[in-house]
């Protein structure tokens, strides 16, 4: 899973040649052998490295505050989102929905690596939501639809339909 993600990320960053990855442990943590010494271990570490290599450091945040926010969400992806038990999905969706109420992207008004990796991480959950559930998490759906249409990001993942019109208004039926 993580390997496919990294491959997609490479493509969207414009890498001509794909890197070779290996994995370790039960979680299949990705490892990238580096020419310059210690291997890079872990999705976030490798992804950040790729961004630097692609000379797009702004994807990690433009200001110190923004960089901290990006790192916070990257950490969220790996610690809270990945492998989360079914009972927690509801609260994660609520949390993301609430957070995104007044922001275009996770880091505010700039597109960053946090958006890319959160998109990959939440895709399988969004794909299984009903139309009504997607409508209940309006902000999250709006952000998700925006990111999946971002040039070069979706890659191998299927498009998740997010309807433009509200079907479930406030009333009962």
Q: Does 160 contact another protein by CB under 8 A?
A: yes
Structural tokens at position 129: 């939501």
Q: Output the smallest distance, CB 146 to another protein, in A.
A: 17
Sign of the Cα torsion 93, 96, 102, 103 reads negative
Q: Does 1 contact another protein by CB under 8 A?
A: no
Q: Output the smallest distance, CB 18 to another protein, in A.
A: 31
Q: Does 124 contact another protein by CB under 8 A?
A: no
Q: Tell me the C-alpha distance between 83 and 88, whole Å.
A: 10
Q: Output the smallest distance, CB 129 to another protein, in A.
A: 9
Q: Which stretch, 7-15, 32-40, 50-58, 163-171, contacts another protein (CB under 8 A)?
A: 163-171
User: For every residue of 89-130, which 3-state class applies, written as one string?
Assistant: HHHHHHHHHHHHHHCCECCECCCCHHHHHHHHHHHHHHHHCC
Q: Which residues make up the interface to another protein (CB under 8 A)? A: 130-131, 160-161, 163, 165-168, 171-173
């Amino acid at each position: 899973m993580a390997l496919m993600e990294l491959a997609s990320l490479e493509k969207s960053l414009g890498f001509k040649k794909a890197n070779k990855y290996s994995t370790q442990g039960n979680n299949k943590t990705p490892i990238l052998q580096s020419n310059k010494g210690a291997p890079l271990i872990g999705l976030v570490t490798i992804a950040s490295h790729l961004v630097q290599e692609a000379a797009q450091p702004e994807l990690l945040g433009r200001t110190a505050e923004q960089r901290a926010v990006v790192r916070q969400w990257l950490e969220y992806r790996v610690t809270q989102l990945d492998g989360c038990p079914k009972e927690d999905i509801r609260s994660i969706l609520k949390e993301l929905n609430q957070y995104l109420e007044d922001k275009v992207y996770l880091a505010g008004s700039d597109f960053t690596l946090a958006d890319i990796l959160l998109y990959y991480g939440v895709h399988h959950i969004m794909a299984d939501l009903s139309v009504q559930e997607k409508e209940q998490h309006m902000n999250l759906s709006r952000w998700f639809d925006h990111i999946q249409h971002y040039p070069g990001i979706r890659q191998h993942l299927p498009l998740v339909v997010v309807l433009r019109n509200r079907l479930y208004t406030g009333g009962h039926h």
